[in-house]
């Protein structure tokens, strides 16, 4: 009798699925529960990812429940390079050139109203066109693969695969700094 009562209370403690649930919905719910349990056991960042960032553990609240998160204070590869002390590859002129190009890309990426504002006879609506012309002139003077690597890392914040990528970014930035007089 005690054994039957224990089995009955154990069944009562288990969460019962909704009565209106079909077999496909039940299988989907069970798979979702298994996936969320597996995901909860996984680390938030792999060791390889941790090696490329400055991660700090923190807590946040989502839907009234506390959750553990990792904050990457290191940012992207280019941000880490720009925030690090000056070195033989990325000096002050190279950093200025990178920020100059990032400013030009920002003018291109910023999609605002297509209005030309005139203030005291000065047109102010051609910033995107000037940025395109300047970037086109810079990219035409450099080998395509070097410019593409420079743009991918500095504009789109792709991770740098190796030290050679930093050297190429430094070389392109150095040439831009020389041409622009930074």
68 and 132 in a single domain? The answer is: no
Which one, of 171, 174, 176, lies nearest residue 146 by Cα? 171
104 and 138 in a single domain? The answer is: yes
Tens digits of residue pLDDT in 54-103: 777 788 887 788 877 877 766 788 888 888 888 888 999 999 999 999 99
**C-alpha to C-alpha distance for 101 and 150, rounded to whole angstroms:** 10
At 62 the three-state DSSP class reads: strand
Structure tokens at 66: 């506390």
DSSP string, 164-181: HHHHHHHHHHHHHHHHHT
Structure tokens at 180: 């622009």
Domain enclosing residue 131, as ranges: 77-180
102 and 28 in a single domain? The answer is: no
Tens digits of residue pLDDT in 122-162: 555 678 889 999 999 999 999 999 999 999 999 998 888 78
- Count of structural domains, the chain: 3
Integer CA distances (angstroms), 164 to 36, 167, 170, 182, in order: 40, 5, 10, 23
Mean pLDDT over the full length of the chain: 81
């Amino acid at each position: 009798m005690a054994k039957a009562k224990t089995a009955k209370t154990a069944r009562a403690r288990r969460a019962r699925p909704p009565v209106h649930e079909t077999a496909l919905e039940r299988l989907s719910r069970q798979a979702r529960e298994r996936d969320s349990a597996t995901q909860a056991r996984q680390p938030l960042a792999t060791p390889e990812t941790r090696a490329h960032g400055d991660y700090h553990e923190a807590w946040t609240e989502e839907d009234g429940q506390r959750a553990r998160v990792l904050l990457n204070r290191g940012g992207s590869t280019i941000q880490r390079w720009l925030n690090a002390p000056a070195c033989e590859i990325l000096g002050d002129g190279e950093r200025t050139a990178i920020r100059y190009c990032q400013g030009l890309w920002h003018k291109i990426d910023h999609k605002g109203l297509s209005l030309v504002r005139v203030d005291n006879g000065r047109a102010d609506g051609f910033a995107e066109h000037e940025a395109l012309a300047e970037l086109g002139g810079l990219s035409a003077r450099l080998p395509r693969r070097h410019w593409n690597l420079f743009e991918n890392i500095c504009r789109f914040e792709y991770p740098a695969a190796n030290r050679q990528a930093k050297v190429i970014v430094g070389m392109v930035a150095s040439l831009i700094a020389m041409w622009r007089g930074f």
